[in-house]
Amino acid sequence: MSVHTQVKRTTIPQLMAYKGQRKIVSLTAHNSAFARIMDAYMDFILVGDSTAMVAYNHPNTLSITVEQMAAHGAAVVSATRHAAVLVDMPFGSYQESPEQAFRNAARILAVSGADGVKLEGGEALAPTVRFLVERGIPVMPHVGLMPQYVNTMGGFRAQGMNDAAAERILADARAHESAGAFGLVLEGIAEPLGRRITESVAIPTIGIGASPACDGQVLVTEDVLGLSGERVPKFVKRFADVETVMRGAFQSYAEEVREGVFPGPEHCFGIKPKEPRE
């Protein structure tokens, strides 16, 4: 039996059981290379609609499609054995009706093999969450700063910074919990609010610019690796400067090709290595 077949993928019930027991670790991935490397260290991998920005260089997340998300999800699932995989539902794929949401969520899961979906929205989306959950689709809603709402929010601004706004987001979280969500992503909210929501709900909270008190954390991998350019959100810590390493490798490759150093005889077929002289 291979090592891969011995490893059991983390399940949604396991993620739920981690609340109050240990922190949940997550990063985003949209390709098999990143997913394969991070798999052993993550509890779940999120195929985020941030793929629109980091993979396609779009200015926001609004333009990515169901088909693209499903395809990226399939790439991540195929490269992993340990982490659960969740896929973002793209803008416009679930807001119209619960029935629309079910068709698209079912399509994403069928094509990708992922374990669940994530969608953005407040209390108004709770009936949709319930509709999906009752039909066998695990859902993790995303509240607070919601990138798909960038136009109505007036940009990427922290949310819940006054009492009224905080109460609305808390109501959103509680509504999704009541609807059967297995967890919540809390993004870009005041730290005390992130702490309060985490203490108020029985399902795991995953913070991204929320609070250390959240049951887990998620970040965009390109931000963590220093691959997202000069702009770094306040809530991001760069754990490596991979861009510098890559630039050095690309420069060395270009120089060796131009100088005729690469490829050498050892990289060619049909050439016998020279015998060492005595």
241 marked as part of a ligand binding site: no
Report the alpha-carbon distance of residue 107 to residue 185 in Å, rounded. 22
Report the alpha-carbon distance of residue 96 to residue 229 in Å, rounded. 35
120 marked as part of a ligand binding site: yes
Looking at 187, 199, 230, 266, which residue is catalytic?
A: 187
172 marked as part of a ligand binding site: no
Indicate the length of the chain as a whole number. Answer: 278
Inter-residue contact 72 to 85 (CB < 8 Å): no
Report the alpha-carbon distance of residue 262 to residue 18 in Å, rounded. 50
Whether 177 is a known active-site residue: answer: no
Could you please report the per-residue DSSP string of 10-69? PPHHHHHHTTTTS-EEEEE--SHHHHHHHGGG-SEEEE-TTHHHHTT--SSSTT--HHHH
Specify binding-site residues for 3-methyl-2-oxobutanoate.
49-50, 88, 118
Specify binding-site residues.
49-50, 88, 118, 120
Active site residues: 187
Specify binding-site residues for Mg(2+).
49, 88, 120
